[in-house]
Amino acid sequence: MSKRIVLEGLDGAGTTTQARRLADALVARGRAAHVTREPSDGPVGRLLRELLTGGHAIPGQALDQATFGLLFAADRMDHVQREVAPALAAGTIVISDRWYHSSLAYQGTGAERSWIRTLNQRARRPELTIFLRVRPEVAAARRVAAGRAQELFEDLPMQARVAAGYEVTLAELAAAGEVIVTLDGEQPLDAVTAAIVAAVTPHL
């Protein structure tokens, strides 16, 4: 059976780099692997990326968080149909850089959590989720070092709230039966990759 592996963490935790490294490690073992990301490269995902970097701004207003919740959920379903499901059907291991865990951590605060869960009820549950735990200050320093322009949701107070949101989200999902492994994302790059490969191997 084809497997779905999700990497989660704060912006700057290394999910994108480690997703590519995991795919390379799996290919070296003779397994077909495909890396995908959220927001996706589909039409809804492209719109989301523009919004996150300040495109299509409403003069004098912040875009409503409910709009983001709906767009992320729509992108997720479109993403599955266009990219994830075909790859899984072909026997490929799909490695996703983020999934619905991010929506719950970033947007699922207070009463919004129930609504975000409802929007994502039909999103396919991964066989394994790996959370790279990195302190918000470390993640911010990495983003600066990489020369990344700051996106919406990336200021330090917001990232501290997101870090707390991840802890609550992952505990709830694990209690509901999801397989979630938390790793120290502040280790050296190669050490993190080795830990991820070791966590993934029993599930292949």
Q: Domain count for the chain, please give it.
A: 1
| 60-92 burial: b if 16+ Cβ within 10 Å, else e | eeeeeeeebbebbbbbbeebbebbbeebbeeeb
More confident residue, 75 or 56: 75
Q: Which range scores top for mean pLDDT: 62-76, 100-114, 182-196?
A: 182-196
Question: What is the number of other CB atoms lying within 10 angstroms of the CB of residue 37?
Answer: 18
Q: Are 94 and 88 in contact (CB under 8 A)?
A: yes
Average pLDDT over residues 75-79: 96
Residues contacting residue 38 through CB under 8 Å, at least 6 positions apart? 45, 72, 75, 76, 79, 96, 97, 98, 99, 102
Bridge partners for 33 per DSSP = 93
Question: What is the number of other CB atoms lying within 10 angstroms of the CB of residue 125?
Answer: 15
C-alpha span between 163 and 13 (Å, rounded): 11
Express each pLDDT in 117-130 by its tens digit.
999 999 999 999 99
Express each pLDDT in 16-35 by its tens digit.
999 999 999 999 999 999 99
Domain range for 134: 4-203
- The CATH number of residue 193's host domain is 3.40.50.300
| Placement of tokens 């719109």 in the chain | 47
